[in-house]
Structure 1
């Protein structure tokens, strides 16, 4: 089993690179086709209701080495999921961090050479679609769903998930006939695919049965009880049981 790096200060070096706020990009043509490009191999960008040229131009912007987009998805308790585009010398990856109010980070997913993922199961993703009242960042439920889809990898995604993704796609310009695209987007990132998860009722945390995932152990299993509970609750607000 690979070592679980757990809670790490993995984003500190971003302070020395050209990070920019990605929020204004969400409404621009081609964004979702570009952001989700790794998940829909074989489908044309037009499946999102956009021109292939717009999708290509947006992909160039997301991979710009001089401006790395960052998106903040606010959660309960002052936590957030931060999505960073990381454009190195050789390639661009999209890194997903669960960030605590104190600034410590959990690496949820990263399709770099280490292949860290999946970082979320479907019950967690659907539980955090609603942003906390008054929060800043990515607050629209449809945008939150689509933005976090690459970190998902769940072999027990329910049928209603397809409808949720279809609704999010249509709300962002896709044609009504996009069910096939939605199913493909839910199949998991090609780096890790769909994996089995189970809910540990004692730890109040979802556990992923994959050697590539940092979610093999309960979230914050090394933290004091109060901090561990807060960390678990931010991905499962108001719930203590799983399917």
Structure 2
């Protein structure tokens, strides 16, 4: 059973078995599939199967965990946090020297985020890894729900579409990629900037906005920037 330092919760289980299930990805990206048209484009005729899979992912008896190695020894744990009546997905940053993980984003009814910019998402997805989730496309889609970026580059949609085409069976990956980028996250897209060598944003629900009263302390803000973009 996986363990995450300082993370109290239910029965954590290795979620890697879901990575080769094409329907997992539209379920995982569901927060950005707002509206019937978006859901229909993502799920096609598989609506009932998607509902069943979503119920499995949200089971209180097993909390799937996906581990994404990052720069400088950091890892990001993607945890399906399945308290009975209160489930969501937590994105937890951890370093071997830390006594406990810190939350970068949470996708649920009381959402917190964004947790990263597009540049950080792409850099983290492309990082070579030999443990945890190693496939760049899987890493991109796993971390995508953390995204909140008002200035995504033109290359974002084709890169996202390529990952969707590789891992899903959606009929129009390019169209779905555009939809996801328009509806990114449960929060408003944020603007990112460098502040004293640390990447921060202006998101009103983000732990990475130093102006928020609940923001990460300065050392952890710097750590997040280092972990996600090698700074």
Segments of structure 1 that go 5 or more residues without pairing to the other structure are 1-8
Is 1:94–2:108 an aligned residue pair? no
Residue correspondence of structure 1 range 97-108 to structure 2 within 5 A: 97-103=92-98, 104-108=100-104
Aligned equivalents of 2:225 and 2:68: distance in 1? 16
Aligned equivalents of 1:219 and 1:208: distance in 2? 12
Is the CA contact (8 Å cut-off) linking 1:115 and 1:191 kept in structure 2?
Answer: yes
Per the alignment, residue 123 of structure 2 pairs with 127
Is the CA contact (8 Å cut-off) linking 1:74 and 1:81 kept in structure 2?
Answer: yes
Deviation (angstroms), 1:176: 5.8
Deviation (angstroms), 1:36: 1.1
Per the alignment, residue 27 of structure 1 pairs with 20
Residue correspondence of structure 1 range 66-105 to structure 2 within 5 A: 66-103=61-98, 104-105=100-101
Segments of structure 2 that go 5 or more residues without pairing to the other structure are none
For 1:151-206, what per-residue CA distance to the aligned partner results, in whole angstroms no more than 9, with x for missing partners? 10100011100000000000013346322211121235453131111123x32x21
For 1:219-240, what per-residue CA distance to the aligned partner results, in whole angstroms no more than 9, with x for missing partners? 76247xxxx8665322112x6x
- Look up the SS of the partner of 1:71 in the other structure: strand
Q: Residues 189, 163 of structure 1: CA spacing in aligned structure 2 closer, same or farther, 3 A cutoff? A: closer
TM-score computed with the length of structure 1 as normaliser: 0.81
TM-score computed with the length of structure 2 as normaliser: 0.85
Per the alignment, residue 221 of structure 1 pairs with 218
Aligned equivalents of 2:138 and 2:44: distance in 1? 16
Is the CA contact (8 Å cut-off) linking 1:86 and 1:94 kept in structure 2?
Answer: yes
Q: Which moved more, 1:90-99 or 1:190-199?
A: 190-199
Per the alignment, residue 13 of structure 1 pairs with 8
Deviation (angstroms), 1:18: 1.0
For 1:107-128, what per-residue CA distance to the aligned partner results, in whole angstroms no more than 9, with x for missing partners? 1101345431000111111111
Aligned equivalents of 2:138 and 2:178: distance in 1? 17
